[in-house]
Amino acid sequence: MAYDNDNIFAKILRGEIPSEKLYEDDETYVFMDIMPRAEGHCLIIPKTPCRNMLDASDDQLTACLRTTRLMGHAVMKAFGAGGVTVQQFNEGVGGQEVFHLHYHVLPRHEGVSLRPPGKMEDMAVLKANADKIRAALAGM
């Protein structure tokens, strides 16, 4: 399957639609998921195009996983979480909805289940949670 330059995350990377940015480096960009399944749910994407893990280069995967690990530490610190769940889906039948490679990072607490998908977060809450993660990153 070909990469679609007009997918939502490509538009976020070009600044055509807004995102709550948490972190970036030369190869990756991180922002809040607008329909979080846990407080602090964020997404890590490569700055260069690929649909998912199946067509990603070794360099894209390495860069994304390095940033995913960083964000795992950051969200655990920001929310006092005991662990972190990482999710990554490939193609529609694999559960993927946006066709630009991304890793979900979800801070987890004992006894707290993930929320059901598809519920838009209040933007003030999203920003407050982003502030906590940015503060945690700044102290790392």
Q: Do 42 and 133 contact (CB within 8 A), yes or no?
A: yes
Burial of residue 63, with CB atoms counted within 10 A of its CB: 0-12 exposed, 13-18 middle, 19 or more buried: buried
C-beta closer to ligand AMP: residue 123 or 140 = 123
Name which of 110 and 119 has its Cβ closer to ligand AMP.
119
| Residue 95 touching ligand AMP (CB under 6 A) | yes
Contact range with ligand AMP by CB under 6 A, out of 21-29, 53-61, 74-82, 97-105? 97-105
Cα–Cα dist 18/1, whole Å: 27
User: So which residues are the catalytic ones?
Assistant: 102
Name the minimum Å distance from CB 116 to ligand AMP.
12
Interacting positions 31-90 with ligand AMP (CB under 6 A): 33-35, 43, 89
Q: Are 126 and 32 in contact (CB under 8 A)?
A: yes
Consecutive H or E run containing 24: strand 21-24
Q: How far is the CB of 74 from ligand AMP (least distance, A)?
A: 17
Taking CB under 6 A as the criterion, the residue among 48, 85, 90, 96 binding ligand AMP is 96
Distance, CA of 34 to CA of 29 (rounded, Å): 15
Specify whether the CB–CB gap between 99 and 7 falls below 8 A: yes
Q: How far is the CB of 113 from ligand AMP (least distance, A)?
A: 16
User: Which residue ranges make up the site for ligand AMP (CB under 6 A)?
Assistant: 8, 19, 33-35, 43, 89, 95-98, 102
